[in-house]
Structures are given as C-alpha cells and as structure tokens.
Chain A
Amino acid sequence: MSKILLLQGNQAVVEGAIAAGVKFFGGYPITPSTEVAESLAEKLPKVGGKFIQMEDEIASMGAIIGASLTGKKVMTATSGPGFSLKQELIGYACMAEIPLVIVNVQRVGPSTGQPTSPSQGDIMQARWGTHGDHWLIALTPASVPECFDLTLRAYALSEKYRVPVILLMDEVIGHMREKIELPDNYDEIPQAERKLPTCPPEEFKAYATDESLVPAMPPFGSGYRWHVTGLVHDETGFPKGTPAATLAATNRQHDKLYNNLDDIVEVENYEMDDAEYAIVAFGGAARAAYEAVDMARAKGMKVGLVRPITIWPFAEKQMKALAGKVKHIMVHELNYGQYVLEVERAVAGKVPVTLFAKYDNEPASPAEVFAKMEEAFK
C-alpha cells in the first residue's frame, strides 16, 4: 500500500533517509536545507536513530564520520556556507574511505550570499572543494519523487564504493512541494549493505582489496581493529608515504569509481530520439528546460533535453556521444557557468556549445530558456 503526499524536496530527502535505514544525523541547520534537519530531528528517534545538532558544520562532519565507522548509515545536510566548512573532512572521508551522505541544498553565494534564493553555484565546489586529488559522487534530483529515489541511491553508491556521496540539491527543488507516492512502510525497501571481512580479525588488513578495489569495512566494536587516518596509508591502514604506497592508494581511490562509470553515471534523455539540438540542464534549471523543449517542439524545432542526474563523476561518455549526434548544444545552469566547462572539454569543439547562465536569484522561466534556444539554434 502506498500514500499520496504533497512534500517538499527536503522532506522527500528525509523520507528517503529513513527508508534507506539512516540511523544518525549530525548537522547544523541552515537555510535552505533546514527542513532536512528539522524533520529528521523528529523522525530519527522514532526509528531507533540519533539526531544531534552539533556546534558547527565541521563538527557535524566529524560526528557522521565517527558514526559511519560504527556501521551505521549517516547523513548531514547544509547549504553553501556550511558546505565550505565541511570540505576539510570531506577530504578525510575520501582518504579514509568512509561511506556517508552530505546533502547540500545550494543557495546564492559566495559567503552568506542570499539564503533563500536558488543557485547551482556549488557544482565545482562539490567536485574540487577539498584539496588534493580525490574522487567522489554527486547526484542532483530534479523533482520531489526523485529526491526520495536519489537519497536511496546515494546510500547504495556510498556503501558499495565506500565513498562520500553529495546529494547536490538546489533551493528550487528543496523548497517546492509536489505530489509524491510513498510506500506505507519502508520494510520492503532493499537496504544497501556494506562489505564485511571474511577473514578472522587477527588476519584483517583494513585496506586490502579484491578486484572490486573496495576494501571490506567492519564496524568498530565488532572485534576487528583498524587504524583510520587522513595520512596516506598502505593496506594495513597505517601511514606509509612511500612513492609506491602513494601511487597505489591514489590509483585505487580513482579506479574503484572510474572502472564503474556505467553503474554510477545516470543521465535522463527527454525528446532526444530525433533531436538535432540539445539543451543540457539539471536540478531546478531542468524544470524550465522540459517546458522550453515542449515549446520548441510545438514550433517544429527538433530539440531535446539531456539531464545529468549524476553530476560527478562527469557524464563524459554521454556528452561525447551527444556531440556526435546533435548540431549544437546549449547548457543552462543557475550560475555563471560551471558545468559548461566540463561539457566544452568533452565536446572538444566538435559542435558549438552555448551557455545560458542565470545567476540573478531567480530560475529562468520556460519562455526565457526557449528564447535563448531559438537564438542559439538558428
């Protein structure tokens, strides 16, 4: 049995978290993500979980890293200013390979910016906000039902690949309310499982891997002892800074994701079958793009929408294929131009790439997007 509700994107993330089996949230509320913390504070204790409001965003990351080490599924939620603070420990979670999910409901920045206004200005920060070579996953929902689905997927990917997953939302999707159909109870939703060691504790090496390149991760307190560090380490988990150990750790952290891009990278195509022109848009910006495509089709223009659902890793293969299919690509994003840089790199001059950047606090309307497409696709 299921129920039909009118929920905000942020509330659908909370439902997704409960359904995914999240048992710990550490956070510091910030607009426009506050509803995630507010609602989890109410719901987590009812499912045997813990909610803690930490003193700041850095401590929140520390709390969820610690909780994840005990074997629990964990979440924190924030917006731009808090996301900046979390970067240090996002790097730690990449290095130590700690599964966790960070919700970032983007708002206008930099700094305090505009707390209640939409933006997609953290695209590059989600990828490169912490220092050093590192790899992680970022997913961007474009509807309230997708907020629920992608929260579940964030845990599936995070647990499978032992990597931080960023649910990269924006204010448009986080705050709008839309119809969603949810199961009455979440008991039958498959739970993402963390790989456990098969050897006895005395033989356990914390970062030894098989061909999956993902090490097993026993929960703290289960008898398996291991060392967790942000220093470069070898398979024992203890610091080792030799060139060989550094090379091995770096390559493995890359390859465990990039050998599996077909599993990780998801892109939706809308009206693309016979398209000669394409608009690339994601999250809140995609909402106007769907309608703009409908308007263009009504006028006989063969336009389609390509909507990246996985923002990072970048949809390299899909964008290269797109460059071989259409005559012209427009990228529409709610920032000065970030994702477009990656599209241009992949397209490599094969077809023109036009940017429609919107960064004035408000999403572009379908009519505005259509007008820009008409102008570009002459």
Chain B
Amino acid sequence: MKKELRLSGTGGQGLILAGIILAEAALLDGKLAIQSQSYGPEARGGASKSEVIISDQAIHFPKVTNPGLLLAMSQEAAQKYSHDLTSSGILVTDSLFVKTLPAHTGKVYELPITHTAKEVLGKALFANIIALGAIVQLTGIVSEESIIKAVLNRVPKGTEEVNKKAIQLGMELVK
C-alpha cells in the first residue's frame, strides 16, 4: 500500500528535515520510502514543501500526486499545496498560522503546533517534531518506536529528551 504525505509551510520551519525523519523511520520499519522537496531560491521564508512516499513496493515517481495527508504550517502553504487534496485526505494545520482553511471536504485537524512548541518547550523550533508526533498518531504510517529512533538519529546531542517530549506532545494533540 502506497502512502503519500506532504509537509508544507515556510522555509526555515524544518519541514524538509521532518520529511527526511519520517522517511528514515519508514526504512527502520523495513519499508521503502522516498523524500523530495521543492522550495524557492530563498534561504528563509517562501513557501516550502517536503513530500514523503512510503510503500512496501518499489516507488518510481518521487513526487506526491494523491496526498493522504497535508500538513500546512503557513497560510500560503495551505492555499498553495491543497489543490490536489481529495476528501479521503487529511488536512492538518498549524492553528497559529493558518486562519483561513482551504476548501476541503475531508477530515481537518487545526492543531496548536507552534503554540505548544513555544509554550511548553520554550522554542518554536520544536514545531516540526511536534507535527511529526501528531502525524504518526493520526495515521500510524510509521511505528512509534521508529519515529523516536529516527528523530534521535537526526537531532543534536543533548537535545534527545526534549525532542522525545516534543513527539509525545504532538501525539497528545490528537489523542
């Protein structure tokens, strides 16, 4: 079964890293995964998307054409990257940034992702890891064990505990 996810927002929010971590977690689960991204020439700002495809079988085309889940962490991304979201797809938004929901007849989760990062962990930069926790809880696309391992493989030494907490906070947002 092929599962396609699109993580979108603003350059600098760590969504490309989040996509890499999700794909690495899928490999840890013994599946195949492809991650790709598209972004403008800006180093910060500008709409950014990171796409992940996970499957048990060979994946040829690396871009998402039928997203099962769209994460939108900016208003611009919510408008720009929701065009191909069908009613079976899940829309997850960061409620701090997305005030106007794009037209979508499927499930919507407006989550205080960045708000939680700032209020509970003291830094907005944990928002991407919180978002991963929420996505894993919502979709079960990778195992909890693998997402924790994949996050810890990618974060700086000394930040393991706070990142583990970020995953838990994300999971609790949708429990």
Binding site for B on A (CB under 8 A): 4, 6, 31, 115-117, 172, 175-179, 287-288, 290-291, 362-363, 365-367
Q: Looking at A4, A6, A117, A288, which has the most chain B CB atoms within 10 Å of its CB?
A: A6
Binding site for A on B (CB under 8 A): 20, 23-24, 27, 32-41, 59-63, 65
In Å, the complex CA distance between A170 and B38 comes to: 14
Asked if B60 and A175 sit within 8 Å, CB to CB, the answer is no
- Residue in chain A with minimal CB distance to B46: A116
Asked if B23 and A116 sit within 8 Å, CB to CB, the answer is no
Number of inter-chain CB pairs below 8 Å? 53
In Å, the complex CA distance between A36 and B18 comes to: 22
Asked if A287 and B62 sit within 8 Å, CB to CB, the answer is yes
Asked if B27 and A172 sit within 8 Å, CB to CB, the answer is no
Secondary structure class of chain B's binding surface, majority of residues: mixed
Asked if B38 and A177 sit within 8 Å, CB to CB, the answer is no
Asked whether A179 and B61 contact (CB < 8 A) given A6-B20, A31-B41, A115-B41, the answer is no
Contact of A177 among B36, B40, B41 (CB under 8 A): B36
Q: Looking at B34, B35, B60, which has the most chain A CB atoms within 10 Å of its CB?
A: B60
Closest 4 CB pairs of A and B: A290-B60, A177-B35, A176-B36, A176-B62
Asked if B37 and A288 sit within 8 Å, CB to CB, the answer is no
10 further A-B contacts with Cβ under 8 Å, apart from A178-B59, A287-B60, are A6-B23, A6-B24, A6-B27, A116-B41, A117-B38, A176-B36, A177-B23, A287-B61, A365-B63, A366-B61
Secondary structure class of chain A's binding surface, majority of residues: mixed
Asked if A365 and B23 sit within 8 Å, CB to CB, the answer is no
In Å, the complex CA distance between A366 and B65 comes to: 9
In Å, the complex CA distance between A172 and B35 comes to: 11
- A367 cross-chain contacts in B, Cβ below 8 A: 65
Asked if A366 and B32 sit within 8 Å, CB to CB, the answer is no
Asked if A365 and B35 sit within 8 Å, CB to CB, the answer is no
- B37 cross-chain contacts in A, Cβ below 8 A: 175
- A366 cross-chain contacts in B, Cβ below 8 A: 60-61, 65
In Å, the complex CA distance between A28 and B41 comes to: 17
Asked if B33 and A179 sit within 8 Å, CB to CB, the answer is yes
- Residue in chain B with minimal CB distance to A363: B63
Asked if B41 and A6 sit within 8 Å, CB to CB, the answer is no
- A4 cross-chain contacts in B, Cβ below 8 A: 27
- B27 cross-chain contacts in A, Cβ below 8 A: 4, 6, 179
- B41 cross-chain contacts in A, Cβ below 8 A: 31, 115-116
- Residue in chain B with minimal CB distance to A114: B41
Asked whether A291 and B34 contact (CB < 8 A) given A31-B41, A367-B65, the answer is no
A146 CB to nearest chain B CB (Å): 13
In Å, the complex CA distance between A365 and B63 comes to: 8
- B36 cross-chain contacts in A, Cβ below 8 A: 172, 175-177
- A115 cross-chain contacts in B, Cβ below 8 A: 41
Asked whether A177 and B60 contact (CB < 8 A) given A4-B27, A116-B38, A116-B39, the answer is no
In Å, the complex CA distance between A290 and B34 comes to: 16
- A-B contact list, 6 entries, CB within 8 Å: A116-B38, A116-B39, A117-B38, A176-B34, A176-B35, A288-B60
Q: Looking at A115, A116, A117, which has the most chain B CB atoms within 10 Å of its CB?
A: A116
A303 CB to nearest chain B CB (Å): 15
In Å, the complex CA distance between A367 and B34 comes to: 19
Asked if B65 and A6 sit within 8 Å, CB to CB, the answer is no
In Å, the complex CA distance between A287 and B60 comes to: 5
- Residue in chain A with minimal CB distance to B84: A365
Contact of B61 among A117, A177, A291 (CB under 8 A): A291
In Å, the complex CA distance between A4 and B24 comes to: 10
Asked whether A172 and B62 contact (CB < 8 A) given A116-B39, A116-B41, A177-B36, the answer is yes
B85 CB to nearest chain A CB (Å): 16
Asked whether A116 and B62 contact (CB < 8 A) given A6-B20, A177-B35, A178-B34, the answer is no
- A363 cross-chain contacts in B, Cβ below 8 A: 61, 63
- B34 cross-chain contacts in A, Cβ below 8 A: 176-178
In Å, the complex CA distance between A75 and B118 comes to: 45
In Å, the complex CA distance between A336 and B65 comes to: 24
